[in-house]
């Protein structure tokens, strides 16, 4: 508008349109900010468990050992009693 390439009326219409879009996007973003915190906690917990995987397997009972093996090889895992 400062270079007079856009009419003031067109500028006002565009500004109103983009303000509405911006408000809708900010509302959507606020939903994701809470989710990101939750995902960060899950990732931290998952990485910590990966570093302890050997301890979980060695000290775990049979069910925990099956869960560890099944998490690595779920398509090939067959257990018989």
Helices (H), the chain: 8-51, 53-59, 62-72
Q: In the numeric block, which tokens belong to residue 8?
A: 């003031």
pTM of the model: 0.39
pLDDT at residue number 77: 57
At 60, list the tokens.
């775990």
Domain ranges of the chain: 8-72
pLDDT per position as a tens digit, 21-44: 999 988 888 776 666 667 888 888
Low-confidence ranges of the chain (pLDDT < 70): 1-4, 32-37, 74, 76-81
Using alpha carbons only, what angle is made at residue 61 by residues 58 and 62, rounded to the nearest 5 degrees? Answer: 105
């Amino acid at each position: 508008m400062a270079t007079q390439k856009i009419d003031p009326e067109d500028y006002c219409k565009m500004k109103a349109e983009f303000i509405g879009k911006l408000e809708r996007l900010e509302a959507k973003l606020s939903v994701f900010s809470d989710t990101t915190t939750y995902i960060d906690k899950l990732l931290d917990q998952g990485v910590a468990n990966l570093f302890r995987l050997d301890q979980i397997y060695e000290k775990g009972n049979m069910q925990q050992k099956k869960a560890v093996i099944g998490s690595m090889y779920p398509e090939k895992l067959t257990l018989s009693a």
